[in-house]
A and B are shown apart, each in its own frame.
Chain A
């Protein structure tokens, strides 16, 4: 089962390269990473994706880097007394066999000080650093500023 998935993933990798939107290293799978395009000169951006830990042990996302922004970190959108705000997370924990979706209104990767605006249709590289799986390089697809999911 596990090896079948790995074969599937490697075929995807061979077939797609830049266009594939599933990335795997060790027991971590990253699916459908997408960003909202920048409206105007906004220096901030946001990335959503789905993370799966296929291992029987817990995993942690420790950090995110991308050459296109000076800073990138995992944020959780919070609501307190009707006020919406974002709270940076030191690390994002994944339990054994857990899948976590970063999606609008919940978790996201926030990009700070973008070098240039994110343009719809383009992709950019990003590296996610995990405690056990190590670094995983992915390509993020830029969707419309009003996109609410990876497939709009």
Chain B
């Protein structure tokens, strides 16, 4: 447990929506506003991946996941965070192969599997894109504490051009499906990689220590 202490528990957004059955791994006071730790998530989320295949969250068990929620029409923020994810994985080199990068859209109306397939390939060869029914996506965002809302339509823009206000955190999920760390928007890829590496070396046991019986 203490090994997670280097990770500051910064609860900017996540607390606004309760993470289910979360047991914080670290209770150390925040010294810097970069990473974060904690939480677990329920099982049973389902999605459609960018190849059109129905997938369950359970299929990802046994592996680490780096998860970012966004939408493909996001012009500025989401591409930047996905590039950071990609750069952090590159920085991790071989160790990064243990981590499955995942992009989950909260705009399933526009982000169909076909749209996601075209999008994810630009960021990382192994990036999996997940969409789903509005209910599936609502369950996923609730589970992660992701908040998004439609912005007021801009003058001169049609409704198809809407943009979304949203949180922009990246979640490291352990092989047991529980949250291990949260990285802030616009984190440094090298620091992110170093933190992920430390957590990987600590092993799944470290991730499990907080929550499992």
Contact A44 B163 (CB under 8 A): yes
Chain B 59-78 near chain A by CB (<8 Å), digits 1 or 0? 00000000000001101110
Contact A105 B118 (CB under 8 A): no
B residues less than 8 Å from A151 (CB atoms): none
Give the size range of A's interface with the partner: 20 to 34
Contact A77 B13 (CB under 8 A): no
Closest CB-CB distance, B55 to chain A, in whole Å? 20
B residues less than 8 Å from A85 (CB atoms): 151, 163, 165-166
Contact B167 A144 (CB under 8 A): no
Q: When A82-B167, A84-B185, A88-B154 are in contact, do A43 and B76 touch as well, CB less than 8 Å?
A: no
Q: Complex: how many Å from CA A73 to CA B80?
A: 20
A residues less than 8 Å from B16 (CB atoms): 81-82
Instruction: Closest B residue to A79 by CB, please name it.
Output: B185
Contact A146 B77 (CB under 8 A): no
Chain B 125-137 near chain A by CB (<8 Å), digits 1 or 0? 0000000000000
Contact B73 A81 (CB under 8 A): no
- Interface residue ranges of B70-127 to A (CB < 8 Å): 72-73, 75-77, 79-80, 82-83, 86, 114-119, 122-123
Count of interface residues, chain B, beta-carbon cutoff 8 Å: 37
Q: When A40-B114, A81-B12, A83-B167 are in contact, do A148 and B161 touch as well, CB less than 8 Å?
A: no
Contact A145 B13 (CB under 8 A): no
Instruction: Closest A residue to B116 by CB, please name it.
Output: A40
Residues of B within 8 A of A (CB): 12-13, 16, 72-73, 75-77, 79-80, 82-83, 86, 114-119, 122-123, 147, 151, 154, 156-158, 160-161, 163, 165-169, 185-186
Contact B73 A43 (CB under 8 A): yes
Q: When A40-B118, A83-B147, A83-B166 are in contact, do A113 and B76 touch as well, CB less than 8 Å?
A: no
Contact B161 A81 (CB under 8 A): no
Q: Complex: how many Å from CA A104 to CA B75?
A: 9
Contact A40 B72 (CB under 8 A): yes
Contact B122 A113 (CB under 8 A): no
Q: Complex: how many Å from CA A111 to CA B161?
A: 10
A residues less than 8 Å from B80 (CB atoms): 104-105, 148
